[in-house]
Chain A
Amino acid sequence: MVRMRSLFAAVMLASIYSLLMAAIFVVLDAVDVAFTEAAVGAGISTVLMLGTLALTTNREKDPAHKPLLPLLVVTITGAALIYGTLDFPAFGSPDAPVHSELSRRFIEKSGEEIGIPNIVTSVLASYRGYDTLGETTVIFTAGIGVAFILWRQRRRHKRKGGRKT
């Protein structure tokens, strides 16, 4: 995916990567995240990228210089992160600090307080409702941004075409 010169193949591999990621999320009990990733990551992102390829180009040029500095930066970042994980709790351990009061309260009380069996939905739409409102604001802003960027381009195209004829 990284070394591929054909961008179409790279986009397809990215889509497959997203789908595999969704399968891993199902194994990790995150069913809601899994179907969002499959729909949004493997679906909409791929469509957007294919649209971009259709509007630009499908081929990537060969890099001008050797990627030694980026390799060094990436290796140092990775080594630092792995050093940071050394005293993390073991994978799947039930007494990790993540599973402390807050999520235990959600699991115990959300059934009677909200009345929806899916805890993720209760937290998303009720306990963290403002968070979701902010999320939709971000999406709205991004949508306006995309519309303005592409709208200005279309207008300039029209003006250019008008001058030619």
Chain B
Amino acid sequence: MAWLAPYNYWIFVFLMMIGLYTVVARGNLVKKVIGLNVFQASVILFYVSMGKINGGTAPILTGDPDTVYSNPLPHVLMLTAIVVGVATTALALALVVRINDAYGTVEEDEVQEMDRAS
């Protein structure tokens, strides 16, 4: 069963595929942003699951020298990633509102058609 050991990465790959499919295949711009968020959460899961140690506990010092802590470094990096992710989401959604104002639609196909027509 050794080949089953990195199963946490396969969960990440599956979620990432859902997110990537939403970004690539859906024409609606809001749906694309949701897909990006799914993608982002899957990458965060990838990092956090790498830091997990069996029998470990949250990296808050207990004072007991025998405590096993999970790796705090991926947690720090992912905190930054989440906050930057919401900043990019806000910017993307502002662009969606702006596109809706200029074209009257948030569907990618219709926007491209209008661009070609003009």
Q: Using Cβ atoms and an 8 Å threshold, which residues of chain B touch A40?
A: 82-83, 85-86
A interface, how many residues as a size bin? 35 or more
- CB within 8 Å: A-B pair count: 256
Q: Which residue of chain B has the shortest Cβ distance to A24 in the bound complex?
A: B45
Report Cα–Cα, A52/B34, bound state, in Å.
Answer: 12
Kindly provide the distance from the CB of B72 to the nearest chain A CB, expressed in whole angstroms: 4
Q: Using Cβ atoms and an 8 Å threshold, which residues of chain B touch A56?
A: 30, 96-97, 100, 106
B44:A11 contact, CB within 8 angstroms = no
B interface, how many residues as a size bin? 35 or more
Kindly provide the distance from the CB of A122 to the nearest chain B CB, expressed in whole angstroms: 8
Contact with B along A85-105 (1 / 0, CB 8 A): 110111111101011001100
Considering only residues 33-73 of chain B, those with a C-beta below 8 Å from chain A are 33-35, 37-38, 41, 44-45, 48-54, 56-61, 68-73
Q: Using Cβ atoms and an 8 Å threshold, which residues of chain A touch B107?
A: 60-61
Q: Is B13 an interface residue (CB 8 A)?
A: yes
B24:A73 contact, CB within 8 angstroms = yes
B26:A119 contact, CB within 8 angstroms = no
Contact with A along B13-34 (1 / 0, CB 8 A): 1101110111011111011011
A29:B41 contact, CB within 8 angstroms = no
Given the interface pairs A30-B70, A150-B97, the reply to whether A1 lies near B82 with Cβ below 8 Å is no
Report Cα–Cα, A10/B24, bound state, in Å.
Answer: 17
Q: Is B101 an interface residue (CB 8 A)?
A: yes
Q: Using Cβ atoms and an 8 Å threshold, which residues of chain A touch B71?
A: 98-99, 103
Given the interface pairs A41-B82, A41-B86, the reply to whether A120 lies near B72 with Cβ below 8 Å is yes
Q: Which residue of chain A has the shortest Cβ distance to B95 in the bound complex?
A: A149
Q: Is A143 an interface residue (CB 8 A)?
A: yes
Report Cα–Cα, A124/B81, bound state, in Å.
Answer: 12
Report Cα–Cα, A25/B9, bound state, in Å.
Answer: 15
Report Cα–Cα, A107/B58, bound state, in Å.
Answer: 11
9 CB contacts below 8 A, A to B, read A25-B45, A30-B51, A36-B79, A63-B25, A78-B16, A117-B60, A118-B59, A120-B72, A152-B98
Using a CB–CB cutoff of 8 Å, the interface residues on chain B facing chain A are 2-3, 5-10, 13-14, 16-18, 20-22, 24-28, 30-31, 33-35, 37-38, 41, 44-45, 48-54, 56-61, 68-76, 78-80, 82-91, 93-98, 100-101, 105-107, 109
| For the complex of A and B, 7 pairs with smallest distance between CB atoms | A90-B5, A142-B87, A70-B25, A92-B54, A29-B70, A85-B9, A67-B25
